Amino acid sequence: GACSRHGVLVKGSNYLEALAQLESAVFDKTGTLTKGQFAVTEIHTLDMTQEDLLYYAACAESISNHPIGHAVQAANQRPVTAGSLQKAEEIAGHGISAVVDGHTVLVGNYRLMEQQHISCERVEETGTIIYVAVDGAFCGWIVIADEIKPDAQIMIARLKELGVKQIVMLTGDNQKTAEKVADKLGITKIFSQLLPGDKVTCLEEILQQKSKQGTVSFTGDGLNDAPVLARADVGVAMGGLGSDAAIEAADVVIMNDQPSKLADAVVIARQTRRIVKQNITFILIIKLMVLILGAVGLASMWMAVFADVGVAVLAILNAVRIIRK
């Protein structure tokens, strides 16, 4: 009840208990720590105009629902007609291969260029780099930037105050972009240039390092995050922008996409565990005392009623403090 008032849906009491023992918090970058609202900030071309480069990229990205693809399409000024795109295929974790106006177009990351044996140099700039090749020749790259969520830094600081030992960021972006975001947020450990399947491998590594009692959470929002959310001790999904698959796989859902709500959930989980321990201790002590008094003939009927109904009422009133707080 207290979590739901703060916009956090917890799917079971066992996940609330796992949050109370949180030792490592792992985050996806795009859409989780950042807004996922991308915009084209730079265009660099070789033997092609910027308008043509954006047009080819936008045609190829028209089959994509990814925010990066939407940013490219929004920046394109030339109309994309129904006949512009003859053929398109999405290459998972790499990009898109398409035929645009009779030209073979490749749009994606550096791995796509390597896979297709396109000669180009790796670009090291802040932001997400989209490489574009037309008819087997590298034509240029597009820089797309994202904005960090306002309360992401607050959330990281609060988790550290709560004693979370390790905060990790996973991203498919290049190392330079990942380091810039991590520096702003105060994250010391990052895994960059990851394919969707690599995130599970990274999480497995973190799970092996945890203590026996500690737990590891993963927070993400994308379709590719579903396997990682399912593997973590506590999977946390962004409910507003998150995909249906991510929300289904998650154990905890943050309904308003504010990452700081994770820290709220940890605080509530620890308060809940503390009050549960208080109630169990109180109940056992009272019942044991009345049991001993009853054995020696000193317990009255009213003492027995108090040990049963009265103790239950007091435990409930103690638990209600969580909602008020």
State residue 241's pLDDT score.
65
Contact 50, 62 (CB under 8 A): no
The pair of three-digit structure tokens given for residue 175, joined into one six-digit string: 């190392």
Would you call 28 a catalytic residue per the annotation? yes
State residue 5's pLDDT score.
85
pLDDT along the chain (325 residues), means of 10: 86 90 92 84 91 93 85 89 86 90 93 92 84 94 87 93 93 84 90 87 92 92 84 88 78 88 92 91 91 85 86 88 77
Contact 169, 159 (CB under 8 A): no
Task: State the Cα–Cα distance between residues 169 and 153, nearest whole angstrom.
Answer: 13
State residue 54's pLDDT score.
94
State residue 22's pLDDT score.
94
| Cβ-defined contacts of 169-173 (< 8 Å, 24+) | 169/26, 169/27, 169/28, 169/29, 169/33, 170/26, 170/27, 170/28, 170/29, 170/194, 170/199, 170/202, 170/203, 170/228, 171/28, 171/29, 171/30, 172/30, 172/93, 172/109, 172/196, 173/29, 173/30, 173/128
pTM over 0.95: no
State residue 244's pLDDT score.
78
The pair of three-digit structure tokens given for residue 151, joined into one six-digit string: 């309360």
| Choice among 28, 225, 233, 257 that is catalytic | 28
